[in-house]
A and B are shown apart, each in its own frame.
Chain A
């Protein structure tokens, strides 16, 4: 079945560093991808909708200059957390609708820890 691959699975870095997370759809094309964030013991919160060839759509309260999204191809969306700080530490997850109206498929998530 359709698979979404997310990389890296874990990042530990110093405060002030910018971190890029990749989300790839394997064996299918995704013109739309979604980025979520999940804090410990909480549910997933949608951050933004990534649109191939156009600007991402951000949810209310999500800083677009802080969380840069680039959907440069039909199989790749990237989320860059710019100048990350400890409060940005979280579990970041992407998803993409499967082909032929299949349900959304999720990546395995990226655990980001900012020291």
Chain B
């Protein structure tokens, strides 16, 4: 499985934007970029995914580099409920198994 690299932790203030980076230099042409997040003692929650173009949904935006070797998850206005571990995962599609790395622990300060 292609690997991803994320910072171990990041910190943000409430109501400020947050940019969570992910490097995936060995991504293949068919790999989708998925983002999930996990709150303490809960299962992961889907955030967003994309292939080549930038994506927006009600939770976040995903900016994908032109060479697809990196991507950035953007939370436009962080809230305390956004504090979680964010995982960037490459996968062939929704039916494919997901390989979780260590993710980024996001702390949101009030």
CA of A95 to CA of B87, assembled, Å: 15
Given contacts A32-B95, A49-B97, contact A103 B44 (CB under 8 A): no
Stretch at the interface among B13-21, B66-74, B76-84, B99-107: B99-107
Check if A106 sits within 8 Å of B44, measured CB to CB.
yes
* Inter-chain contact B102/A93, CB cutoff 8 Å: no
Q: Smallest CB–CB gap between A24 and chain B, Å?
A: 13
Residue from the list B42, B46, B99, B103 in contact with A104, Cβ < 8 A: B46
Interface string of A46-69 (1 = CB under 8 A from B): 100100000000000000000000
Q: State the CA gap A96–B45 with chains docked (Å).
A: 12
Please provide the chain A residues from 76 to 93 with a CB less than 8 Å away from any CB of chain B in the complex.
Answer: 91, 93
Q: Judge whether B93 is part of the interface by a CB distance below 8 angstroms.
A: yes
Question: Which of these, A6, A43, A104, A109, contacts B94 with CB under 8 Å?
Answer: A104
Contacts of A104 on B, CB cut-off 8 Å? 46, 94, 98
For the complex, would chain A's binding face be called helix, strand, loop or mixed by DSSP majority? strand
B34, B43, B97: which contacts A103 (Cβ < 8 A)?
A: B34
Main secondary structure, interface of B, reads loop
Contact size class for B?
Answer: 20 to 34
In whole angstroms, what is the CA distance A101 to B49 when docked? 12
Q: Say whether A103 contacts B94, CB under 8 Å.
A: yes
Residues of B contacting A97 with CB < 8 Å? 94-95
The reply to whether A6 and B98 form a contact with Cβ atoms under 8 Å apart is: no
CA distance A36 to B99 in the complex (A): 10
Task: Tell me whether A44 and B44 are in contact (CB under 8 A).
Answer: yes
The chain B residue with its CB closest to the CB of A111 is: B41
Query: Contacting A46 at CB < 8 Å: which of B43, B95, B99?
Result: B99
